[in-house]
Structure 1
Amino acid sequence: MRITLVSGSNRANAASTNLLKYMQGLLEPQNITVTLIDLAQLPLPLFTPDNWDFHPNAKHMLDTFAESDGIVLATPEYHGSLSGVLKNALDYVNPTLIAGKPVLSVSSAGGPLGVSSLTHLQTIVRNLHGINCSEWISVGFGTQAFDADGVLADEEVRTRVSDVLESFVQLTRTLGTTNLAAFK
């Protein structure tokens, strides 16, 4: 199984990126191949529909999506929505790359919740014909949510992340099996 994690922040030490790294640490021991796309490290030019000869960074991201069985999209919440960096990245995506794949939406907010950004992410996923995971993850209080070792500081949040991630992995396995069976 291959899962792509996309960090939609361009901030150093971003909580959304730290959360994905934490999740990567939970997934890899399960023999899941994980690719982390950190948009701060893989900058993309502004998308324009006038140019379909994409920048190598955009091609890398799109190739990774094509090879993925499931996708996790993480964003900080800016002004009640997802980051411009993640929105720009998703503008490059052709629905055929996400159609039928499970997508987990993740948000970090400076306050306790990031519900608006999660709702917007799920709308985008629906328009790309992806399958929204029935749950989402919102981690509040920014970088203070993590200790010095990159572990979520709150035990209840760690449990929530673990439970939601387990549900997402099960959905990815189920859909992968179903999709494979449909083509045999």
Structure 2
Amino acid sequence: MEPNPADLNASAMSFINAFDMSSSSAPIRLSHSLAILLLYKHSCFLVRRNQWIHLLHAHRNSMADEPLRVMGLSGSIGRQSKNGMLVDLALKKAEALGAEIHFWDLQEKPLPLVGEDGCWSNPIVKEFQEMASSCDAFLVSSPEYHGTMSGVMKNTFDWVYEQHVGGKVFGLMSTLGGISNSNTLNHMRIMLRWLHGNPVSQQLALGHVKEAFDEDGNLSDSSMDERLQSLVVSVLTTATMYRNS
């Protein structure tokens, strides 16, 4: 089911947060995006029949009541870089939906180049790997340099292995100075295949990135903001289904 981000307004979120599965009676009529958010927030199964969404309780395990942990990774140095801003914005959307968020700031905690002297015993590497292991999902953005991801992005991923990110959910984003394309996104998907990571089908390529943000750090183009919201919802709902399976 493809979420319609236009449905994700304040009144919709109030309905989601206040919804009481114990007192609900099926069928009820919902948009696809509201139904998906009910799945994320209340761990209920969704069965579509014609235009109606039927809600059934799902089995909850001991982890189901804990918020999803989402880690943000930027292929640029610093939270104020364009990619840092995009990851930060995506994380804020995830937090608004109940996730616990963690932004790895390479300016504050730089990862060494793989293979440089002392890198294998670097305590920052251990901390980075432990945080990655503890998270359920990742929101990632890289600039496109010469048709692929940045060296910073590649070095970041070179420090994680299957035991850290295998089987986990990824939302992929890229930024470009000119017209958007999917080169970097495709290359990150190939890389994650080797790590056994699971990127969702939704993705975001943000072209003309220098003009993409307003003075408050939000996306100037409302349609791009809606696509970002859709990406975040997809990551959270997919990670929830994986965790509860």
Q: How does the TM-score come out when normalised to structure 1? A: 0.90
Query: Which secondary structure state, in structure 2, belongs to the residue aligned with residue 9 of structure 1?
Result: coil
List 4+ stretches of structure 1 deviating above 6 A.
49-52
Q: Does structure 2 retain, via aligned residues, the 8 Å contact 1:77–1:83?
A: yes
Q: Does structure 2 retain, via aligned residues, the 8 Å contact 1:146–1:152?
A: yes
Aligned to 1:168: 235
Identify which of structures 1 and 2 has the higher relative contact order when contacts are C-alpha pairs closer than 8 Å and 6+ apart: 1
Structure 2: unaligned runs, 5 residues or longer: 1-67
Query: Which secondary structure state, in structure 1, belongs to the residue aligned with residue 201 of structure 2?
Result: coil
The equivalences for 1:16-165 within 5 A come to 16-48=83-115, 53-165=120-232
Aligned to 1:14: 81
More off after superposition, 45-54 vs 103-112 = 45-54
Shift of 1:40: 3.2
Q: How does the TM-score come out when normalised to structure 2? A: 0.68
Shift of 1:35: 0.3
Q: Provide the aligned C-alpha RMSD in A.
A: 1.8
Query: Which secondary structure state, in structure 2, belongs to the residue aligned with residue 157 of structure 1?
Result: helix
| Structure whose alpha-carbon radius of gyration is higher | 2
Matched length: 178
Q: Distance in 2 between matches of 1:72 and 1:123?
A: 16
Q: Does structure 2 retain, via aligned residues, the 8 Å contact 1:14–1:142?
A: no
Aligned to 1:181: none
Q: Does structure 1 retain, via aligned residues, the 8 Å contact 2:165–2:197?
A: yes
Q: Distance in 2 between matches of 1:15 and 1:82?
A: 14
Query: Which secondary structure state, in structure 2, belongs to the residue aligned with residue 53 of structure 1?
Result: helix
Shift of 1:52: 7.0
Structure 1: unaligned runs, 5 residues or longer: 179-184
State the identity as a percent.
Answer: 28
Q: Deviations over 1:25-44 (max 9, x none)?
A: 21112221000012233211
Letter in 2 for 1:86: M
